[in-house]
Amino acid sequence: MTAYFRAAVRPFRYIRALLRANRQSPSDGTSKPRLLDRSVVLWARGSHGVYRLYAEQLSSESAVVSSTVALPPQERMVAELLIRGEPPVQFSARVLEAWKAGDLCHAALVLDCDAETAARIDAFVERRSRG
């Protein structure tokens, strides 16, 4: 099952919730689940219209992280390189202009994980979004 987190409106809320969910331990006392096996990549708009890329390195044994950013092929390739963490990565002027123009607002963070883990993350994010 795939859990989708839309990041356009309140990006920090979702990345914080995800990171906290990753660190939570199940109530039965078993070892905590590892949700991710590579960098979490999030495209986010800053308060002054400046876009930045946020990444948090986490460890895991199973999940796969990908990106659903609507980009032309060349820019999509750059995004995929970022996700795989293959340096050096340089953004083209067109990507930076798209950031400033707000054309990447619909970017999403996608986690491929099992149904139980997806449900736990969804519930956690929902609780966090209510305050």
Rg (CA), the chain: 15
The set of residues, in sequence order, having a beta carbon less than 8 Å from that of 4 and lying 6+ positions away, is 68, 108, 109, 110
Query: pTM of the entire structure?
Result: 0.23
Q: What percent of the chain has pLDDT over 90?
A: 0
**If you average pLDDT over residues 96-103, what whole number do you get?**
48
> One-letter amino acid identity for 21?
A
Q: What is the pLDDT of residues 18-36, one digit of tens each?
A: 555 545 444 544 444 333 3
Whether the per-residue pLDDT at 89 is higher than 50: the answer is: no
Whether the per-residue pLDDT at 116 is higher than 50: the answer is: yes
From the DSSP assignment, how many helices (H) and strands (E) are in the chain? Answer: 4, 5
Sign of CA dihedral 34, 46, 109, 71: negative
